[in-house]
Structure 1
Amino acid sequence: MPRPVRVVLVHGSQLSGVQWTRYAGLLGPDVEVVVPDLPAHGSRRGEEFTWEGALAVVGEAVEGGDPSVPVVLAGHSLGGYLAMAWAAEHPTRLAGLALLGATAVPAGPGAALYRGIARLEARLGVDRVSRALDRQFDALLPPELAAVVKEAGYGFDGIPAAWHGVMTRCRPSMLEAVTCPVLLVAGQLDQLRVDARRFERAARSARWVRRVVVRHGLHVFPLTHPHETAAALWELVADARDRDDIDQ
């Protein structure tokens, strides 16, 4: 019988754990899929977003199961930067780390891009931005998944604090001491893959590092290309089953 593996999937900003709705089925019955909501998002929308609070949520998800089961931690966008930050603080704890759409250095032009998006959303207001996101997901996703995402709603209140944390704290050097395999996945048309080689070079202690580009994928590729994303994650799951040297 295959060794169980725990996969923690951390969502991107504005969204929630429902973005991973299809992944339990795609990853299989011997994989425990955990999809926490970050503060100010999803079921925690009423909570204030702080960087420390978000890392605590990630830590609870990682440590919340059987301690003998290896853990793969993956995050999309904001969730990817948080996953990297948590791994930097626990560099030998994980069986695998995947950064999905989170390999742009959030400084200089990258930081300016997100400041511009934040200003635009503030000018448009919550209702107009929500309607725009609804239309985007209606166009990109199967109707049943779009309905689930829209029903869960969007978290806007935590965006300034979340991206301030990313821009001031997150750099490729955070990967330097991480010992588990590191997977860097991005959509072909994803603006947050521009510095992937820098992240790859920084992961000097990892057993192995691999970059994967999802053809025709936008930044929301984990939602639009779940089969390709799950296939990439499966490489970490398979590797985790062969490991017995993970700190618990």
Structure 2
Amino acid sequence: MIESTDREVAGSLGTLTVREWSGDNPGWIALIAHGYGEHSGRYQWVADQLLQARALVCAPDHIGHGRSPGDRVYYEDAEYLVADLEALRREVTAQHPDLPVVLIGHSMGGMLAARYAQEHQRRLAALVLSGPVLGTWHVLDLLEHDEIPDTPIDPATLSRDPEVGAAYLADELVWHGPFKRATLRAVDDCLLAINEGPTLEIPTLWVHGEDDELVPEADTRTGIDRIRGNEFHEHIYPGARHELFNETNKTEVMTDVRNFIGRALNS
């Protein structure tokens, strides 16, 4: 296992903390956009797998998440977070100008990655969306309440492996409190923008758990159907829950991801 090193990147709303994993002679750059309430440190295993495929892996903690500054899980416009991904891409590619970039987004990070790809398609060699919040999301129903109720994420929805949920609950860098109204409104606005935006013409892979209760596959598909292009691929895994990279079949998932990226980079 290769441990990450830290770098700081000037973001739209503050200086972001970024984890970077690098092996010898990388052949491509993997940018990882993590999900709501979590942080980049939960992607050590993913980074290990990508390093074996000769990736240089960079994963920011979004503003208000993990070790980055800001009110916890709070932002008023998702476009700030999309711009932060572009700021990171610019900095990393300035140091490695000949390496292609693949963006991997999970959950809320999948939403950000899809929006980024719509705005910057020519800057990506491929896109991977894991359990992305797209189309519609039942959590946005919380906006109907005068006061947002405290409905933390049920760790049992993350994986069939109970140790994943236990680690999630024990992780002090994970947000375990209520959703913020401004953030939910920003997510809603971003989903509308994606639905009205261009199709994805770059190679794109969508992976999703069939038993994902946190971000149901059927709801995501309503958004996927609006943006899928001619080079779009999907894998829906029977019995799998939300965090496919932490699921009991995570090796299968990562094999599919790595094979897809290999084909995209060699095409």
Into which bin does the TM-score normalised by the smaller protein fall? 0.7 to 0.9
Matched residue, 2:37:
14
Which range moves more in the overlay, 165-174 or 4-13? 165-174
Given the two structures, how large is their TM-score scaled by the length of structure 1? Answer: 0.76
Alignment equivalent of 2:189, drawn from 158, 168, 181: 168
Change (3 A) 1:227 1:123: same
Q: CA deviation at 1:134?
A: 9.7
1:217 aligns to 2:240 (yes or no) = yes
Deviations 1:84-113 (A, max 9, x none): 11111112221111121126412xxx3x54
Which range moves more in the overlay, 37-46 or 147-156? 147-156
By relative contact order (CA 8 Å, sep 6+), the higher-ranking structure is 1
Query: Structure 1: where are the runs of 5+ without partners?
Result: 244-248
Matched residue, 1:52:
79
Query: CA separation in 1, counterparts of 2:106 and 2:241?
Result: 12
Task: Report if the CA contact (8 A) 1:175-1:199 is conserved.
Answer: no
Q: 1:19-34 maps to which residues of 2 (within 5 A)? A: 19-29=42-52, 30-34=54-58
Alignment equivalent of 1:186, drawn from 205, 208, 217: 208
Q: Which amino acid aligns with 2:245?
A: P
Given the two structures, how large is their TM-score scaled by the length of structure 2? Answer: 0.71
Matched residue, 1:63:
90
Query: CA separation in 1, counterparts of 2:170 and 2:103?
Result: 22
Alignment equivalent of 2:263, drawn from 217, 239, 242: 239
Question: Matched residues, percent identical?
Answer: 21
Q: Please provide the CA RMSD for this pair.
A: 3.6
Query: CA separation in 1, counterparts of 2:178 and 2:112?
Result: 18
Alignment equivalent of 1:82, drawn from 97, 109, 112: 112
Task: Report if the CA contact (8 A) 2:161-2:247 is conserved.
Answer: no
Matched residue, 2:123:
93
Query: CA separation in 2, counterparts of 1:141 and 1:175?
Result: 40
Query: CA separation in 2, counterparts of 1:33 and 1:211?
Result: 23
Q: Which amino acid aligns with 2:123?
A: R
Change (3 A) 1:219 1:147: closer
Change (3 A) 1:162 1:122: closer
Q: CA deviation at 1:214?
A: 2.2
Task: Report if the CA contact (8 A) 1:98-1:183 is conserved.
Answer: yes
Matched residue, 1:140:
162
Task: Report if the CA contact (8 A) 2:159-2:240 is conserved.
Answer: no
2:121 is paired with a residue whose SS is coil
Q: CA deviation at 1:54?
A: 0.8
Task: Report if the CA contact (8 A) 1:5-1:240 is conserved.
Answer: no
Deviations 1:49-91 (A, max 9, x none): 2423211221123233212211111111110111111111112
From the two aligned structures, give the one with the greater strand fraction. Answer: 2
Q: CA deviation at 1:14?
A: 0.9
Which range moves more in the overlay, 8-17 or 20-29? 20-29
From the two aligned structures, give the one with the greater helix fraction. Answer: 1
Q: CA deviation at 1:187?
A: 0.5
Matched residue, 1:115:
141
Matched residue, 1:246:
none
Deviations 1:1-59 (A, max 9, x none): 99711111111111111221211211234111111111111012535524232112211
1:105 aligns to 2:145 (yes or no) = no
Alignment equivalent of 1:40, drawn from 55, 59, 64: 64
Query: CA separation in 2, counterparts of 1:157 and 1:53?
Result: 22
Query: CA separation in 2, counterparts of 1:158 and 1:40?
Result: 12
Query: Structure 2: where are the runs of 5+ without partners?
Result: 1-23
